[in-house]
Structure 1
Amino acid sequence: MLILIINAGSSSIKYQLLNMNSNALIAKGLIERIGIEGGKVIHKYYKNDNLEKVEINQNFLSHIEGMRVIVNLLTDSKIGVIKDVSEVDAIGHRVVQGESVSHPVLITKEIKEFIRKISPLAPLHNPANLLGIEVAEQLFKNVPQVAVFDTSFHQSMPAKAFRYAIPNEFYINHKIRVYGAHGTSHKYVREQAANYLKNKNVKTISLHLGNGASITAINQNGESIDTSMGFTPLNGLVMGTRSGDIDPSALFYMVRECGVNFEELDDLLNKKSGMLGMTGKSDARDVEQLSYEGDKNAVLCLDLYSYRVKKYIGAYMAALNGAEAIIFTAGIGENDCNLRYLICKDLDFLGIKLDKEKNEKFNSPDRVVEIQSEDSKIKILIIPTNEELAIAQETLKIIAKH
């Protein structure tokens, strides 16, 4: 049973081809910086039990171009791992916004229309997710496809966490509430933490820090009780192109006094703010480089970014009445030792103490690692996320039913 997983982000596509008879990885890759200069493909595949690597520097104007490259790599006459796309038994897709859907579903015309209809709730991701589905349908004809929704994990949040203090009619009639995102990743790394610490009841604060970023409080039952993203993925932390938290009155002011059209606000806050708005760069690696070169805007951006994360850690320590572990995951969380340092700095009162040497030594790990100091009361873990494996497992369950 070969399952291909497509995880289309706002500026990237991650993919994995897995043999679900053994959960064995056959090939995986990352296409990054879609729509940004400096695009790259990192493709890895097994050959004679050795993991080989191919890197291609290529700009991608769209996700369609990226999907075609994936198919070409998988079926290439020299490095391909399958001869034809018909060898793939099913395709699983990560879809960010599923509204109140609490389980994966087989993709049909109706499901595609549902994903399209609720795209305004995740304007950077759902259109990319849907595009991935539609391109996959063209390239993998007659292969069943499954959607696994990021919002599902957060359906366990209590009303006090997911409701907004606005007139009830907007919740009842228009379903305006907190949905969250990155649920597949938060759920996966929490399970990995519980296994690693041999404590199924571990309370954790999970930091999924990538171009999109969110933080989630997870209780002793492994349930999300609060998360930083809200009605859409715009809320919460500073991100690559998203503003994160902002006083709504500032938006009214921008319309009245700054000449911003109301229709422009969505694009401004989702695609032109965050790191990009502050520094001109949306990729944290580029912002880091500017910071090292002394760019004041970049220095401030990193300070603001880490400060926002600190505030949420404090809030979620209160919401959980204490936690046993902090988890760093995703592109920045796993690979940026400087931002991990800035985030954990001066959190001693909460029992969070980072070991600087471990933090640098264990950067970009391929397994769970601990980076807290010996006298830290809280475990600080870096856990490589594997949303693709989690999605594959859910996809297999759905396919088995049909």
Structure 2
Amino acid sequence: MWTLVLNCGSSSLKFALLDPDTRELQLSGLAERLGLEGASLRLDRAGERRTVDLAGGAHAAALERLLAELTGLGLPGGVTAVGHRVVHGGEHFSAPALITPEVLEAIRECVPLAPLHNPANIAGIEAAQAAFPDAAQVAVFDTAFHQTMPPVAYRYAVPEAWYRQHGVRRYGFHGTSHAYVAQEAAGMLGRPLDDLNLITAHLGNGSSVCAVAGGRSVDTSMGLTPLEGLVMGTRSGDVDPGMHDYVARQAGLSLSEVTGALNRESGLLGLSGLSSDMRELEEAAGRGHEGARLALDVFVYRLAGTVARMAAALGRVDGLVFTGGIGENSSYVRAATLERLGVLGFALDEAANAAAVRGRSGRITREGTLPALVVNTNEELMIARQTREVTLGRQ
């Protein structure tokens, strides 16, 4: 059952064609600068890479070219389903959904909650419906996994009308990744997921932590938008809400300009004054760059504090999972975080931690202590699996 997974941004389209049962990957790639001069489609297959010029084309042009590539593969049965990553499903969706006109309208209703993401997701869905009219189209939501959070975790202490009329609450993101690595961690620990209380830390340019009890999200660090929570590449994470008004008045900025700066000019980049890339910051800190050192220290401090908060949400912790670009590759961040979390029972295995980079996963704490694991996330595979389940369910 060949499933095409699409992740559409405003000017990009990431894709993968795979079999969710065997994990066989036939084709993957990325279309960039869609709708702009220099638009191109990168195709990766069997270790070889090609780039195709799209002559300024947008999502539809990228999918049309991709369709031609897929036809050329001569796959038995062809593409049977298309799974779409959709960032925000609001309270409408607690699970993946077969895309119908009603589902597409509900995704449109969530545009105010994700104005940069959901319109691009919708554009990708509409283009895929035209390009693959015979394939089942399924929406897989970043927010759906967190719809199991209780009100004590998702409600803000704000006027009731804001929640009832405008949906102001905590939704959480990275749900597909958190769900996938929790399942993988259970296998690595040799225990049923239903019996485990795990903390999963998805760390990258965007970062979040999730408390997973028996395979269900009970708390997470992101909120109404992906800006809340941890320090990230260019996002501030938690700040005093009063900062918006103060900075707007002092710096002569509009509210949207302040929010834009918190999203695109803050985080590791803002603290260091150098870069949003953790690899560059670690190298610079090693050379004595004070801003880079501060950025690393704040990142780890906030991360450890958030993990501790998730431990309180769970009551009992059976393991901590590091994933994402930083979580899978920065042995420094993992070591520094676990050093702060010794109070919970973690004790680092330095050799195992140093070895868990560049795609290598495994346990990084000493035997007899609380397990901390490195697990490589695979959101495309998880989306493909969920797409298959929805597709089979309608037959």
TM class by shorter chain equals 0.7 to 0.9
Secondary structure of the 1:212 match is coil
Contact 1:242/1:272, CA 8 A, preserved across alignment: yes
Cα shift readout 1:310-345 (whole Å, capped 9, x = no counterpart)? 100111122212301000112111122222222222
Which residues of 2 match residues 302-317 of structure 1 at below 5 A? 302-317=296-311
Does 2:276 match 1:282?
yes
1:131: Cα distance to partner? 3.7
1:174 & 1:124 partners in 2: Cα distance?
Answer: 18
Amino acid at match of 1:371: I
Q: Note if contact 1:34-1:60 (Cα within 8 Å) is conserved in structure 2.
A: no
Q: Report the counterpart of residue 111 of structure 2 in structure 1.
A: 119
- 1:348–1:397 Cα change, 3 Å: closer
* Cα distance in 1 between the residues matched to 2:109 and 2:134: 24
Q: Corresponding residue for 1:48?
A: none
Corresponding position of 1:243: 236
C-alpha RMSD over aligned residues: 3.4
Is 1:233 the counterpart of 2:226? The answer is yes
TM-score (norm 2): 0.85
The whole-number CA distance in structure 1 between the counterparts of 2:40 and 2:333 is 23
- The match for 1:49 is none
Deviation at 1:151, TM superposition (A): 1.2
Q: Is the 8 A contact 1:2 1:89 kept in 2?
A: yes
Moved more, 91-100 or 337-346: 337-346
Matches within 5 A, 1:314-329: 314-329=308-323
For 1:87, the equivalent position in structure 2 comes to 78
Shift in CA distance, 59/252, structure 1 to aligned 2, threshold 3 Å: farther
Deviations 1:345-394 (A, max 9, x none): 2322221122222111121335x41111235x210111111222221122
- Superposed displacement of residue 205, structure 1: 0.4
**Separation in 1, partners of 2:58, 2:149:** 35
User: Does the 8 Å contact 1:275/1:301 carry over to 2?
Assistant: yes
Whether the 8 Å contact between 2:348 and 2:366 is mirrored in structure 1 is yes
CA contact (8 A) 1:13 1:66 kept: no
Q: Say yes or no: does 1:252 pair with 2:225.
A: no
One-letter amino acid matched to 1:397: E
**Cα distance, 1:129 vs. partner?**
2.7
Report 1:371-386 matches (<5 A).
Answer: 371-374=364-367, 377-386=369-378
| 1:193 correspondence with 2:192 | no
Indicate if the aligned counterparts of 2:41 and 2:53 stay in contact, CA closer than 8 A.
no
- 3-state SS, counterpart of residue 365 of structure 1: coil
**Separation in 1, partners of 2:53, 2:295:** 26
Amino acid across the alignment from 1:241: T
Where does structure 1 lack aligned partners over 5 or more consecutive residues? 46-51
User: Structure 1 CA distance, aligned partners of 2:44 and 2:67?
Assistant: 10
TM-score, structure 1 length as denominator?
0.84
1:90 counterpart letter in structure 2: A
- Partner Cα separation in structure 2 for residue 11 and residue 286 of structure 1: 26
Shift of the 193–215 alpha-carbon distance from structure 1 to 2, 3 Å rule, reads same
Identical counterparts, % of pairs: 40
Q: Distance in 2 between matches of 1:291 and 1:34?
A: 33
Q: CA deviation at 1:258?
A: 1.8
Q: Is 1:222 matched with 2:215?
A: yes
Question: Following the alignment from structure 2 to structure 1, what is the Cα–Cα distance between the partners of residues 336 and 323?
Answer: 15
What's the CA shift for 1:247? 0.4
- Give 1:207 shift: 0.3
Would you identify which runs of 4 or more consecutive aligned residues in structure 1 move more than 6 Å?
9-12, 32-35, 39-42, 56-63
Paired position in structure 1 for 2:172? 180
The unaligned stretches of length 5 or more in structure 2 are none
Q: How many residues align?
A: 386
**Residues 1:96 and 2:87 are matched in the alignment:** yes
Counting only pairs closer than 5 Å after superposition, residues 343-358 of structure 1 correspond to structure 2 as 343-358=337-352
Mapped partners of 1:299, 1:244: distance in 2: 18
Tell me whether 130-139 or 91-100 shows the greater mean CA deviation.
130-139
Residue identity matched to 2:245: F
* Letter aligned with residue 325 of structure 2: G
For the pair 1:18 / 2:18, whether they are aligned, the reply is yes
For 1:394, which of 375, 382, 386 is the aligned residue?
A: 386
1:360 to 349, 354, 372: 354
Helix, strand or coil for the counterpart of 1:98?
A: coil
Counterpart of 2:303 in 1: which secondary structure?
Answer: helix
